[in-house]
Chains A and B, each alone.
Chain A
Amino acid sequence: MKFNTLSRHLRESFKSIARNGWMTFASVSAVTVTLLLVGVFMVIMMNLNKVADDLENDVEIKVLIDLQANEKDESNLQDQIKNLPGVESIRYSSKESELSGLVKDFGNDLSLFKQSNPLRNVLYVKASNPQQTAKIAKQIDKMDGTYEALYGKGKIEKLFNVLNTGRNVGIVLIIALLLTAMFLISNTIKITIFARSKEIEIMKLVGATNWFVRIPFLLEGIWLGILGSIIPIIVVTLAYANIHSALAPRLKGEVFELLSVSPFIIEIDALILVMGVIIGMWGSFMSVRKFLKV
């Protein structure tokens, strides 16, 4: 494309934005509202996802070892577990250290058990994919030297179910919001194009190519998308920075934490901008289509 043509297209797109003041305002508002919703939603989703990952990663199998097992049996058992596919790590904890853990948590009352420790030696096993935990636990349960493999049966499956459904619902909602925004922007651009349909018809009749007609509208859509993403970017960034600084200290020591502000929120901002540009372009692309059939 020639430079003169490109500058003409740019001029035309700015002119149209200025000339169609109210329509511009309406499209930009529509994009703003949607991107704001999508932005807030994504921040919540990603954090829930982070929490879910943290919770999942905290899940481990507690393997109680048979009282009869001697040192050799124990290391045999360890080797067997290590060789299972999908086992990420394995940690040995003797019954003495188990007891001191309990004493630390529940107080000195328990220290009288030190004379005859009723606890067992334990192996803590982590699955590389937490969703495999139950399967691995079942295999360990059958091994010689295992008294019982505990993993929070039932509770864990419920947690995974909730997390998975949550993720899917979130993705569907985000897609639905984006489609709504595209529909809104394509409707508003359709109205601005309708006002110029005579111009498009004449352009086509004097030999303009489809791209020549389309580009100013695509540019206009891009500007609308960018304008519409400004407020969401500012709001999402400030809100998250504040919420993060208020909540993060309280979550210290929990098994999960929030995503840190940078680079997370910058990625979200970039995503909001890109989505604005894409829905703007796509919206105008769809609405010009009808008028090009001259």
Chain B
Amino acid sequence: MIEMKNVYKKYPNGIVALNGLNIRINQGEFVYIVGPSGAGKSTFIKMMYREEKASSGEIVVNGMNLSNLKNKEVPYLRRQIGVVFQDFKLLPKLTVFENVAFALEVIEEHPEKIRKRVMDVLDLVGLKKKARMFPDELSGGEQQRVSIARSIVNLPKVVIADEPTGNLDPDTSWEIMSLFEEINARGTTIIMATHNREIVNNMRRRVVAIEGGLIVRDERGGDYGYEI
């Protein structure tokens, strides 16, 4: 369902972040992306929802070929992918409810349906009681859960997360991870870049290691590697 062939990415400043990368990820998988800083993990992730465009190579997501995707079609690609950001990207002037509803308003869902869907996902992430609060009244873990709720509210087939536990303490990180596990258990593909050795080693999922813009290791039930 996600396939990359010989993907090459050169940024305008001349840095080559991906250097002929190949991968195939099936529906329902849970994939950790690991690797040293600057390896190209974030770039790899941004390729999938077209925040960055590949310089060459072929990328297919949910049957959409991104190499000949028109700019006009990008919004429709993004509606099929939920993205969880390390810095949450919540709007401070909107309540928890409004932040999550935002993702559905933008795709012109019916208000009735929005209300129901948002309450459902807030229930799932355990924030139903805090729906009317503002982001700055929440803890870091709670804010991250709001952003997860927003990423899954329109039932995407894939959720992509770039270091979703990067700013969180270990306990909170585990809470967030179990939430991702639960979402994955419902059949959603999860792709997550992380530096968190403990999580990767305990979850025993597919681990893809990227170094210098190439996949250097890809094993099912793998561990984080990189001994210090």
Establish whether residues B91 and A198, one from each chain, have CB atoms under 8 Å apart when the complex forms: yes
CA distance A204 to B102 in the complex (A): 11
- A205 interface neighbour in B49, B91, B105, B110, Cβ under 8 Å: B49
Q: Given A198-B89, A198-B91, A199-B91, are A205 and B51 neighbors across the interface (CB < 8 Å)?
A: yes
Residues of B within 8 A of A8 (CB): 105
CB distance from A18 to the nearest CB of B (A): 13
Size range of the chain B interface in the assembly: 20 to 34
Q: Is A116 an interface residue when CB atoms closer than 8 A count as contact? A: no
Q: Is B103 an interface residue when CB atoms closer than 8 A count as contact? A: yes
**Contact stretch, chosen from A33-41, A95-103, A159-167, A206-214:** A206-214
**Contact stretch, chosen from B72-80, B138-146, B176-184, B212-220:** B72-80
CA distance A208 to B110 in the complex (A): 15
Q: Kindly report which residue of chain A lies nearest to residue B107, judged by CB atoms.
A: A207
Q: Is B111 an interface residue when CB atoms closer than 8 A count as contact? A: yes
Q: Kindly report which residue of chain B lies nearest to residue A196, judged by CB atoms.
A: B91
Q: Kindly report which residue of chain A lies nearest to residue B76, judged by CB atoms.
A: A207
Q: Is B106 an interface residue when CB atoms closer than 8 A count as contact? A: yes
Establish whether residues A207 and B105, one from each chain, have CB atoms under 8 Å apart when the complex forms: no
CA distance A2 to B78 in the complex (A): 21
CB distance from B84 to the nearest CB of A (A): 11
Establish whether residues B102 and A202, one from each chain, have CB atoms under 8 Å apart when the complex forms: yes
Residues of A within 8 A of B110 (CB): 4
CA distance A4 to B106 in the complex (A): 11
- 8 Å CB contacts to B: which residues of A115-144? none
Q: Is A294 an interface residue when CB atoms closer than 8 A count as contact? A: yes
Q: Which residues of A contact B (CB under 8 A)?
A: 1-2, 4-5, 8, 198-199, 201-210, 212, 294
CB distance from B121 to the nearest CB of A (A): 14
Q: Is B206 an interface residue when CB atoms closer than 8 A count as contact? A: no
Q: Mark B75-116, 1 if CB is under 8 A from A, else 0.
A: 111110001000001010000000000110111101100000
Establish whether residues B108 and A205, one from each chain, have CB atoms under 8 Å apart when the complex forms: no
Main secondary structure of the interface of A (DSSP, over half): helix
Establish whether residues A207 and B89, one from each chain, have CB atoms under 8 Å apart when the complex forms: no
CB distance from B10 to the nearest CB of A (A): 18
Establish whether residues B89 and A208, one from each chain, have CB atoms under 8 Å apart when the complex forms: no
Establish whether residues A206 and B111, one from each chain, have CB atoms under 8 Å apart when the complex forms: no
Q: Is B9 an interface residue when CB atoms closer than 8 A count as contact? A: no
Residues of B within 8 A of A206 (CB): 78-79, 83, 102-103, 106-107, 150
CB distance from A13 to the nearest CB of B (A): 15
For A4, A203, A206, A210, the residue with the greatest tally of chain B CB atoms inside 10 Å of its CB is: A206
CB distance from B52 to the nearest CB of A (A): 11
Establish whether residues A294 and B51, one from each chain, have CB atoms under 8 Å apart when the complex forms: yes
- A212 interface neighbour in B78, B106, B111, B154, Cβ under 8 Å: B106
- Give me the 5 closest cross-chain CB pairs, A-B, nearest first: A207-B79, A208-B106, A207-B78, A206-B103, A207-B75
CB distance from B30 to the nearest CB of A (A): 22
Establish whether residues A4 and B108, one from each chain, have CB atoms under 8 Å apart when the complex forms: yes
Residues of B within 8 A of A204 (CB): 75, 78
